[in-house]
Amino acid sequence: MDRNERALPLAGLRVVEFTHMVMGPAMGVILADLGAEVTKVEPVEGDNTRRLVGSGAGYFPMYNRNKRSLAIDLKSEAGRQVVRDLLADADVLIENFRGGAMEALGLGYEALAALNPRLIYCSGKGFLRGPYEHRTALDEVAQMMGGLAYMTGLPGRPMRAGASVIDVTGAMFGVIGVLAALAERERTGRGQALTTSLYETTAFLVGQHMAQYAVTGKPAPPMSERQSAWAVYDVFEAADGERVFAAVVSDTQWRKFCEAFGLDEFLADSSLARNTDRVRQRERTLPVIRARFQQLSQGALMAKLEEAGLPFAPIARPEDLFDDPHLNAEGGLIPVTLAEGRTARLPALPLAMNGHRFGLRHDLPGVGADGPAVLRAHGVSESAIEALIAAGVLHA
C-alpha cells in the first residue's frame, strides 16, 4: 500500500456497486483506488464478466481490484432485503444495467431515496434523456454513431478505437458526477440521481472535430488521412526497421530539431521559419527528414530526440508496457492475483496526489469472498448468515 488507508482522499465513503463489463466497474475501481469502501454485489454464481474470453478476458482483472465481493440472489426477497439494509447507510450506488432492471428489483432511485435520502445514485447508460434513451448501447455502438469510429478508421472503413475508451471515459464522467454530488450533499444534506452515458461521452470527445467544421466549414477527414497542423508529425522508420513517432510543434522546436539532426540547409531557409509555411512545403522537407532518420537506429534516434527536448514515442504494443521502466519505477503498475493464481501487474490510476500514487489495498475478490464479513459489519448475526448460505441466497 502506497499510503496509509485512513489518509486516502475517499476513505470512509461507502459505495455499493451493481455492475458488469467495463463502464460500471471502471467507476467503481476509480472510487476504490481513491480509498472508498466499494462492495461489489454479484449474482450467486458471480459476475458474468469473470468468465469472458477473447477481448473481454482482461475486463474483470483490470477494473475490480480494491473491492469486496458480496454474491447474493437478488431474485429472492431475502437477498433484496440484505441489499436494502446495506444501502440504508451507503453513500453511493453505482449501476450500469439495462434500463428498468434495478427498478424491477425494487432498487430504483425513488425507492432507495425514500430509504436513504443521502444516497447518491449513479447510473451508467447508453444515452441520456432523449429519443434514443431506450436503445441498447455498447462502447462500439457509441463510437460508430458518435463519429469516433469514422475519425479513427480509413475512408469508408470505420474502426473502433483500440481500447474501450468510451466505457472508461464515460466512467470518468460518472465519477466526476459522484464527486460533484458529494460536494452538493455537503450543502443540502440530500443525495441525488445522476447518469453518465456512452453516446454523449463520444459526442464530447469528437466535439473538437465538430468545432473544426464550425470554424472552417470543412469536414474533418479521418485521422488516417488527416491534414496535419504541423510539418513534422508522423511515424518514421529507423535504420533497424523499427519505427518512431516524432513531432515538431513550434518554431522554437523546429530550430532545435534542425540543429540536432544537422539540417543546416533547412535552418538557413527563411521560407521554413514559420510552421504554416513548413506545412505547405512538407513534400519537400519530409523526404530529407526520413532519409536522415533512416541513418540512425531506433535507440539512437530516440536519444537524439530526447536530448533535444522534442516529442517522440516508440510504437509500442500493450504487452510491451509490462517491462516499461517508467511504469515500473514509481508504482505505475499494480500487482493483482488472477483467477488461476498467477500475478499480473496492471496499470494504476493515472494520478498522483501529494506525490503519491494509489496502489492495492484489496486483491481481486473471489466470488462472494467478502459476503459474510460485509454482513457482519452491518450487524447481521452468524445464525442469520448461515441461514442465508444454507438457503442458497448468499454465496460464501
Q: Looking at residues 190-219, what average pLDDT do you find? A: 97
Same domain for 190 and 260, yes or no, is: no
**Could you tell me the CATH number of the domain that includes residue 247?**
3.30.1540.10
Q: Exposure string (b/e) for 117-139, b if CB count within 10 Å is 16 or more?
A: ebbbbbbbbbbeeeeeeeeebbb
Boundary-marking domain end, from 285, 317, 349 = 317
Choosing from 265, 295, 317, the residue where a domain stops is: 317
Does residue 2 have a pLDDT over 60?
no
Same domain assignment for residues 281 and 185: no
CA distances (Å), origin 359, targets 37, 85, 141, 345, 354: 14, 30, 33, 11, 14
Catalytic residue list contains 47: no
Determine, yes or no, domain membership for 69.
Answer: yes
pLDDT, residue 4, reads 56
On whether both 304 and 381 belong to a single domain, the answer is: no
71 lies in a domain? yes
Q: From CA 17, how far away is CA 309, in angstroms rounded?
A: 45
pLDDT (tens digit, 9 = 90+) per residue, 246-297?
999 999 999 999 999 999 999 999 999 999 999 999 999 999 999 999 999 9
In a domain, 218, yes or no: no
Is 325 inside a domain boundary?
no
Considering the chain, what is the average pLDDT of its residues? 96
How large is the average pLDDT for residues 371-383?
Answer: 96
In a domain, 150, yes or no: yes
Helix (H) or strand (E) holding 297: none
Q: Cα separation of 75 and 43, whole Å?
A: 9
pLDDT of residue 57 exceeding 70: yes
DSSP H or E run through 396? none
Residues 151-181 have pLDDT tens digits of 999 989 999 999 999 999 999 999 999 999 9
Are 303 and 356 contained in the same domain? no
- Of 118 and 226, which is predicted with more confidence? 118
Under the banding of pLDDT at 50, 70 and 90, the label for residue 396 is confident
211 belongs to a structural domain: no
Which residue in the list 167, 251, 277, 324 is annotated as catalytic? Answer: 167
Statement to judge: residues 81 and 147 lie in one domain: yes
* 110 and 147 inside one domain: yes
- Are 67 and 190 within one domain? yes
Confidence of residue 226 (pLDDT cuts 50, 70, 90): confident
Range of the domain at 78: 5-205+330-395
Would you place residue 1 in the very low, low, confident or very high pLDDT band (cuts 50, 70, 90)?
very low
Whether the per-residue pLDDT at 137 is higher than 90: the answer is yes
Say if 216 falls within a structural domain: no
For strand 120-125 and strand 92-95, is the pairing parallel, antiparallel, or unpaired?
parallel
Give the pLDDT score at 5.
Answer: 58
Residue 221 counted as domain residue: no
Q: What is the CATH number of the domain that holds 358?
A: 3.40.50.10540
Do 379 and 302 sit in the same domain of this protein? no
The total domain count for the chain is 2
Tell me: do 308 and 336 sit in the same domain.
no
99 and 142 in one domain?
A: yes
- Residues 14-44: pLDDT tens digits? 999 999 999 999 999 999 999 999 999 999 9
Residue finishing a domain among 268, 292, 317 = 317
Confirm whether pTM is higher than 0.85. yes
DSSP codes, 165-199: HHHHHHHHHHHHHHHHHHHHHHHHS---EEEEEHH
Q: Do residues 308 and 358 share a domain?
A: no
Model confidence over 40-55: pLDDT tens digits? 999 999 999 999 999 9
